[in-house]
């Protein structure tokens, strides 16, 4: 199905990756339903994109927000869902605030699962439906300083895989897209500095958007990873985890030093 024939819900639309995805989908002729918490930011982005763009301001970490968004999508006739909203908190787990952990669990994992549950009945009435979960390379590779974040993305990957298999005999295609580090405000200055120091590459959000558009052209669901050597490290971590253990152990002192710098929890909305 061409992008121009799709009606696409995008959560976390005003974040760095979300806005890049919105712009790319709009350029491809997609009919967009942008969702986030901030009505003003959503309105500004919709005005920039023009066309048939619609906005639904909703907090998807609440039952009411998810219900409102699902009802709007059913009325509009959404056939494609891009779960992009997320938050991150870089810290050593023993020193991490409980509210930060809870926020990641709610937005990164519980919200897309529960929202998908509400969206499925309407999607199943469409000739074809697509669901994309935007995860992370850290959904396959546990990384020091990101234990709770990794847990949410590991969970999201497992949910996407299970749902894909559960819907294998339906007209709904399920994808999981895993970017590596990306240059957005989701990353604190400490994370950016750490990535530069230990050699973690960071991509432009436009690259993630381009990969997502390419993914939407596939007829079969898949897990898709962005970046090299991350594409190698994912199967390597599964087959020979001790090698990755040792590689990260050599960087642990540096990671700890950056984790002890002042942190601010960011959220892609």
Residue ranges per domain, the chain?
A: 3-268
The answer to whether the beta carbons of residues 51 and 31 sit under 8 Å apart is: yes
The pLDDT, as a whole number, for residue 185 is 86
Among 105, 131, 128, smallest CA distance to 118 is for 131
CA–CA distance from 168 to each of 104, 135, 171, 221 (Å)?
Answer: 29, 21, 8, 9
The pLDDT, as a whole number, for residue 266 is 47
* Rounded Cα gap, residues 43 and 64, in angstroms: 21
Among 113, 30, 116, smallest CA distance to 70 is for 116
CA–CA distance from 267 to each of 19, 89, 100 (Å)?
Answer: 13, 9, 11
The catalytic residue among 138, 149, 225, 233 is 149
The pLDDT, as a whole number, for residue 103 is 97
Burial of 40 (C-beta count, 10 Å sphere; 0-12/13-18/19+) = exposed
The answer to whether the beta carbons of residues 92 and 118 sit under 8 Å apart is: no
The pLDDT, as a whole number, for residue 186 is 86
SS3 210: helix
The pLDDT, as a whole number, for residue 269 is 54
The pLDDT, as a whole number, for residue 26 is 97
Dihedral of alpha carbons 248, 253, 254, 255, sign: positive
The answer to whether the beta carbons of residues 95 and 139 sit under 8 Å apart is: no
* 149 classed as catalytic: yes
Return per-residue pLDDT of the chain as tens, 269 residues: 799 999 999 999 999 999 999 999 999 999 999 999 999 999 999 999 988 899 999 999 999 999 999 999 999 999 999 999 999 999 999 999 999 999 999 999 999 999 999 999 999 999 999 999 999 999 999 999 999 999 999 999 999 999 999 999 999 999 999 999 999 888 889 999 999 999 888 999 999 999 999 999 998 999 999 998 888 999 999 999 999 999 999 999 999 999 988 655 445 55
* Rounded Cα gap, residues 81 and 101, in angstroms: 26
The pLDDT, as a whole number, for residue 204 is 95
Instruction: Domain 3-268: give its CATH superfamily.
Output: NAD(P)-binding Rossmann-like Domain (3.40.50.720)
The pLDDT, as a whole number, for residue 45 is 97
* pTM, rounded to two decimals: 0.94
The answer to whether the beta carbons of residues 259 and 93 sit under 8 Å apart is: no
The pLDDT, as a whole number, for residue 262 is 66
Ranges of beta strands (E only) in 62-191 are: 80-83, 86-88, 129-134, 172-178
Identify whether 229 is preceded by a cis peptide bond (ω within 30 of 0): yes
The pLDDT, as a whole number, for residue 265 is 45
Q: Which helix (H) or strand (E) holds 246?
A: helix 241-249
């Amino acid at each position: 199905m061409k992008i121009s024939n799709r009606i696409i819900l995008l959560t976390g639309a005003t974040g760095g990756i979300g806005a890049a995805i919105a712009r790319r989908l709009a350029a491809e002729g997609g009919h967009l339903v942008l969702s986030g918490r901030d009505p003003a930011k959503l309105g500004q982005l919709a005005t920039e994109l023009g066309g048939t763009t619609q906005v639904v301001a909703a907090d998807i970490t609440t039952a009411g927000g998810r219900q409102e968004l699902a009802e709007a999508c059913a009325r509009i006739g959404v056939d494609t869902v891009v779960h992009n909203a997320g938050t991150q908190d870089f810290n050593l787990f023993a020193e991490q605030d409980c509210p930060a952990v809870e926020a990641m669990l709610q937005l990164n994992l519980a919200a897309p699962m529960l929202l998908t549950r509400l969206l499925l009945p309407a999607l199943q009435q469409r000739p074809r439906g697509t669901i994309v979960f935007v995860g992370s390379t850290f959904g396959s590779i546990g990384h020091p300083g990101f234990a709770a974040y990794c847990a949410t993305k590991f969970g999201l990957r497992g949910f996407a895989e299970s749902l894909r298999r559960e819907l294998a005999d339906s007209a709904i295609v399920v994808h999981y897209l895993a970017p590596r580090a990306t240059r957005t405000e989701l990353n604190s200055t400490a994370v950016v500095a750490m990535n530069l120091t230990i050699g973690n590459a960071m991509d432009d959000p436009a690259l993630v958007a381009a990969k997502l558009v390419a993914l939407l052209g596939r007829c079969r669901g898949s897990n898709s990873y962005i970046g090299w050597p991350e594409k190698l490290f994912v199967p390597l971590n599964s087959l020979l985890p001790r090698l990755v253990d040792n590689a990260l152990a050599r960087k642990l002192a540096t990671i700890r030093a950056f984790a002890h710098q002042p942190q601010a929890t960011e959220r892609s909305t």
